[in-house]
Amino acid sequence: MTEPKSLQDLPSEFVFDPARASKMMTRHGHGGWLGLSYHAHGEDWVELALPWRADLAGVAETGVLASGPIISMMDNATSMAVWTAAKRFTPHVTLDLRVDYMRAAVPGRTVIGRGECYKLTRTISFIRGIAYDEDPEDPVAHVIGTFMASHGTYL
C-alpha cells in the first residue's frame, strides 16, 4: 500500500505507530531538513535522533549545535509521545515549551531527543523530555510543555 503523505490523511481508528509516522514526519518540511529520524519508543515516550551537521551549528568556529534544531526535535518527539500515549493521531498545537540548557552538545555527536507524555486529559497533554548526546544521565537539555487538541479530543 502507498504511504499516506501526511498524518492528517490517516484514518482516525489507526493505532499511532511512531516508527512509521516518523518516516512521514521526517521526509518533508523542517524535520526532513534537520535530518531527524526515529530512534526508539515505549508506551508513552518516543526518541528521535538528530545527527550533527556543520550547517546546524550555532557558532561556526566551535561547531556546537544551535539550540533551534534541539527545540525542533523536542517539539516533534514530545508531540509524537502524546499520540503514542493516546494510541492515535489527534491534530494538536503546541501551547508552550520551556527548555533548560544543561550544557552544550559535543560537536560531531548525534543528539537523541526523548519526549514523554506524562498526563493526558481530554484536551490538554502534558509533556517533558530530555536531549542527550551520549548518556541520558548527563543531558544536554530538559524540556517541559503542553499541547492542546485542536480538532477533537485525546481521550
Binding site for other proteins (CB under 8 A): 6-8, 28-33, 54-60, 65-69, 71-76, 91, 93-101
Judged by CB, which is closer to other proteins: 75, or 116? Answer: 75
Of 97 and 124, which CB lies nearer to other proteins in the complex structure? 97
Cα-based angle 2, 38, 49 (whole degrees, multiple of 5) = 145
Query: Smallest gap, in angstroms, from Cβ of residue 69 to other proteins?
Result: 7
Residues 66 and 52: their CA atoms lie apart, in Å, by 10
State the nearest-atom distance from the C-beta of 15 to other proteins, in Å: 20
Is 73 or 120 the residue whose CB approaches other proteins more closely?
Answer: 73
Which element (helix H / strand E) includes 75?
helix 67-86
Cβ of residue 46: shortest distance to other proteins, in angstroms?
A: 15
Distance CA 92, CA 7 (A): 12
Measured from the CB of residue 40, what is the shortest distance to other proteins in angstroms? Answer: 20
State the Cα–Cα distance between residues 104 and 106, nearest whole angstrom: 6
Q: Identify which of residues 40 and 95 has a Cβ nearer to other proteins in the complex.
A: 95
Measured CA distances, 85 to 27, 101, 104, 136, 153 (Å): 23, 26, 30, 21, 13
